[in-house]
């Protein structure tokens, strides 16, 4: 499928529009650029226009529209400085045009060269495709500790690509949307760019789950009038009292993002109508820095004077800000008509940081004496990046795993506060204290009670780490630590230990070669690596040392003039570890899913059990052929982010006469005969073949789970709707096992 360019304009119209966008850009700065900065901006604009003059986007519009739009986001939505805007204007020149990094340095300076280099993708042909994607992420993150502006410009670049994604092929839309959900949206969240994070997630959902996106969008519009009336009734007494108390403020309403609503519906298996925190009221105070905390709690007392709070839902991120710098006081109160309403109380400074993230944080940094959570997090990233042997894909997975996690607050024996991701163990805490404490950790005392290193911590715990010089990391540790720092240090230690063990294997091989009268040189070691299918000499030595490769049983070789050669017989690795790379010539354009001689053999992935009618994609595996996944499969984002070149377009033919396995769960009020009603509806009304069924009842409420075979999504939806009509049934939902 080729994308049809829809953009049409004359050269004169294009030139006029380019100049118009540039003038708009110059008006977008938070502060007036100096005359020197204006000269650089104009030079960057002219260089970018000239470099991209022959280039067009998929939509057909001049390519220069893209860097101009990215620069606009950087200046207006992130409030960054002119040098960042220069980098945004030039961010694709080195990668896509004749401009070199030396040209950038000569025309603009060293700092501009550094920023553009950080924004330029790795293009080494020595890297496999999946490694190159991960290495590009890693290269970008390497700049984090020195200059976070590289990542901010990259996020602006990705945001504009998402805004213009409609011009891309459907398979590219899926891949880019999945990458955005997997890495860029969490990264925006961690850097405090909540507005950009929300937009990225919504746009990704729009292309991954189009029907769900449209349905939620429509329901938000349908409930707008009712919601507005409720907000007016709720806020009127609060506004009147805030004015009476002499507080300077503004009140805003924030509707939950479409993606957040969808995510909550999926996780809790609830319909749109049961998402109670559909919107939040923001009370934004105009307070001096020294009065911020007192004014926020003053506003809290006013809100709770009128509406009863749910104390279990109180979140104080003013006393303990989130790691991304977020500060706010969140309370949930019972509002009019029995509706729970969330109120967020913050100051203008806090709101600025919430919306514009790291850039705004930096603006206020001089007013804060203590190091911020962002500074601490950046220091941790720097430490993770220090390992030169870290595998790029594993590093990105470890790094990403901590971007979106909730946090807990724990204390050292001396009372120092430490922030860890929710679910962190005593061992995670040990590595948070110091890497040497982590590698020697044998146990811990939590509130003076002895616990193992795998003990999961909770907020408020006071933790004392116990160490031993005889302790060393083992592979099992990776199964229960969750922080990126701990994982990186454990993997690094295990690699060092592996290297030490490999020295013994090296000596064993040296003695074997001596006995065979073979030179111990690479020309003889390399054939041995190929014979045993290992990817490095170190791995060869290691497997010899631990006895996995027994040189006493070495056969199928000949020695001639101190050189060893092997016949074609070689040891094959397990199928799951075989590696294969696919060239562009082998790339498959698409697959039609039918039961009458499909154009390619495929299997339905068990992780998400796709059904005819679901939005799906094909994934080319190493040893099991093509697997068909749902686009909202729990593994989809990771597969598309790391291995986008293996993603294949897939579509149902609509002619398949086949049954698909689906899983539904339901809840209701327990009543005599209800189970019989359900099974009768399944077997009689819909001619369903059930694989398994289970029910559980407790205190008058029952829940159930059924695995059954259906023809397509329409068949399944019809079944769900009929079950919902049964008296006593409260909820019925299809679920994906996660």
Q: Which residues are tagged catalytic?
A: 95-96
CB of 556 within 8 A of CB of 527?
A: no
Question: H-helix or E-strand containing 333?
Answer: strand 329-334
**CA-based nearest residue to 715, from 612, 616, 604, 594:** 612
CA distance 274 to 221: 16
Contact 405, 411 (CB under 8 A): no
DSSP per-residue letters across 63-98: TTHHHHHHHHIIIIIS---HHHHHHHHHTTHHHHSS
Query: How many whole angstroms separate alpha carbon 721 and alpha carbon 708?
Result: 16
CA 617 to CA 628: how far, in whole Å? 6
- Please tell me the distance from the alpha carbon of residue 64 to that of residue 185, in angstroms, as a whole number: 25
What is the residue whose two structure tokens read 């220090």? 386
Q: How far apart are CA 733 and CA 471, in angstroms?
A: 49
User: Are the beta carbons of 89 and 48 closer than 8 angstroms?
Assistant: yes
**What is the SS3 string spanning 4-52?**
CCCCCCCHHHHHHHHHHHHHHHHCCCCCCCCHHHHHHHHHHHHHHHHHC
Q: How far is CA 131 from CA 125, 127, 134, 175, 177, in A?
A: 11, 6, 5, 16, 19
Strands 616-620 and 689-698: unpaired
Give the bridge partners for 693, in sequence order.
706
**Structure tokens, 523:** 């020309």
What is the secondary structure of 249-268 as a DSSP string?
Answer: EEEEEEEPPHHHHHHHHHHH
Q: For residue 284, how many other CB atoms are within 10 A of its CB?
A: 22
CA trace torsion 423, 429, 434, 438 (10° rounding): -90
CA distance 118 to 148: 10
Which positions ≥6 away from 424 have C-beta within 8 Å? 408, 456, 457, 481, 482, 483
Q: Name the one residue in this structure whose structure tokens are 């939505």.
A: 77
Sign of torsion over alpha carbons 333, 335, 341, 344: negative
């Amino acid at each position: 499928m080729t994308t049809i360019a829809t953009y049409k304009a004359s050269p004169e119209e294009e030139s006029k529009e380019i100049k118009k966008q540039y003038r708009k850009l110059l008006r977008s700065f938070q502060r007036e650029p100096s005359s020197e900065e204006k000269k650089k901006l104009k030079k960057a604009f002219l260089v970018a226009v000239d470099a991209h003059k022959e280039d067009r986007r998929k939509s057909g519009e001049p390519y220069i529209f893209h860097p101009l739009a990215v620069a606009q986001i950087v200046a207006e939505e992130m409030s960054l400085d002119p040098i960042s805007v220069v980098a945004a204007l030039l961010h694709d020149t080195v990668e896509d045009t004749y401009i070199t990094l030396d040209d950038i340095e000569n025309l603009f300076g060293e700092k501009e060269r550094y920023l553009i280099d950080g924004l330029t993708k790795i293009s080494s042909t020595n890297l496999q495709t999946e490694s190159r994607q991960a290495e590009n992420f890693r290269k970008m993150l390497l700049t984090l500790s020195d200059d976070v502006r590289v990542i901010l410009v990259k996020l602006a670049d990705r945001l504009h690509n998402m805004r213009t994604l409609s011009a891309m092929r459907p398979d590219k839309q899926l891949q880019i949307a999945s990458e955005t959900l997997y890495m860029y949206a969490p990264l925006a969240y961690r850097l405090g760019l909540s507005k950009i994070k929300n937009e990225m997630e919504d746009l990704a959902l729009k292309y991954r789950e189009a029907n769900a996106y449209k349905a939620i969008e429509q329901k938000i519009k349908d409930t707008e009038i009712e919601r507005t009336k409720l907000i007016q009734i709720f806020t009127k007494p609060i506004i009147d009292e805030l004015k009476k108390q002499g507080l300077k403020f503004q009140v805003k309403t924030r509707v939950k993002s479409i993606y957040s609503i969808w995510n909550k519906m999926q996780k809790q298996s609830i319909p749109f109508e049961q998402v109670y925190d559909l919107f939040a009221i923001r009370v934004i105070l105009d307070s001096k820095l020294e009065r911020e905390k007192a004014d926020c709690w003053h506003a809290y007392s006013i809100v709770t004077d009128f509406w009863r709070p749910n104390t279990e839902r109180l979140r104080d991120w003013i006393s303990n800000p989130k790691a991304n710098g977020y500060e706010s006081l969140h309370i949930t109160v019972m509002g009019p008509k029995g509706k729970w309403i969330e109120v967020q109380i913050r100051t203008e400074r806090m709101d600025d940081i919430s919306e514009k993230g790291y850039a705004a944080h930096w603006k206020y940094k001089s007013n804060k004496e203590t190091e911020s959570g962002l500074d601490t997090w950046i220091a941790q990233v720097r430490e993770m990046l220090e390992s030169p042997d870290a595998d790029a894909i594993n590093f990105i997975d470890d790094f990403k795993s901590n971007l979106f996690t909730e946090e807990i607050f724990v204390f050292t024996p001396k009372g120092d506060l430490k922030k860890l991701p929710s679910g962190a163990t005593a061992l995670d805490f040990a590595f948070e204290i110091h890497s040497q404490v982590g590698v020697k950790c044998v146990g811990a005392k939590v509130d003076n009670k002895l616990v193992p290193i795998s003990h999961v911590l909770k907020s408020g715990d006071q933790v004392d780490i116990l160490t031993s010089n005889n302790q060393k990391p083992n592979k099992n540790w990776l199964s229960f630590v969750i922080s990126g720092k701990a994982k990186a240090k454990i993997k690094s230690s295990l690699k060092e230990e592996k290297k030490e063990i490999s020295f013994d294997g090296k000596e064993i091989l040296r003695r074997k070669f001596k006995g065979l009268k073979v030179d111990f040189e690479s020309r003889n070691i390399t054939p041995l690596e190929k014979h045993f299918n290992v990817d490095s000499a170190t791995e060869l030595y290691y497997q010899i040392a631990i006895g996995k490769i027994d040189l006493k049983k070495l056969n199928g070789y000949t020695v001639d003039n101190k050189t060893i050669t092997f016949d074609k017989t070689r040891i094959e690795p397990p199928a799951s570890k075989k590696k294969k790379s696919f060239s562009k010539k082998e790339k498959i354009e698409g697959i039609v899913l039918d039961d009458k001689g499909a154009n390619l053999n495929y299997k339905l992935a068990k992780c998400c059990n796709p059904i005819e009618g679901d939005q799906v994609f094909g994934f080319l595996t190493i040893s099991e052929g093509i697997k068909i996944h749902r686009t909202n499969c729990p593994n989809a984002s990771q597969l598309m982010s790391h291995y986008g070149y293996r993603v294949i377009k897939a579509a149902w033919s609509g002619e398949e006469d086949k049954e698909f396995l689906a899983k539904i769960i339901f809840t209701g009020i327990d009543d005599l005969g209800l189970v019989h009603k359900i099974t009768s509806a399944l077997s009689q009304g819909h001619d369903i073949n059930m694989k398994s069924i289970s029910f559980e009842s407790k205190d008058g409420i029952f829940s159930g789970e059924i695995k059954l075979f259906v023809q397509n999504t329409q068949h399944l939806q019809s079944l769900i709707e009929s079950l919902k009509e049964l008296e006593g049934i409260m909820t019925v939902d299809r679920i994906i096992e996660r």
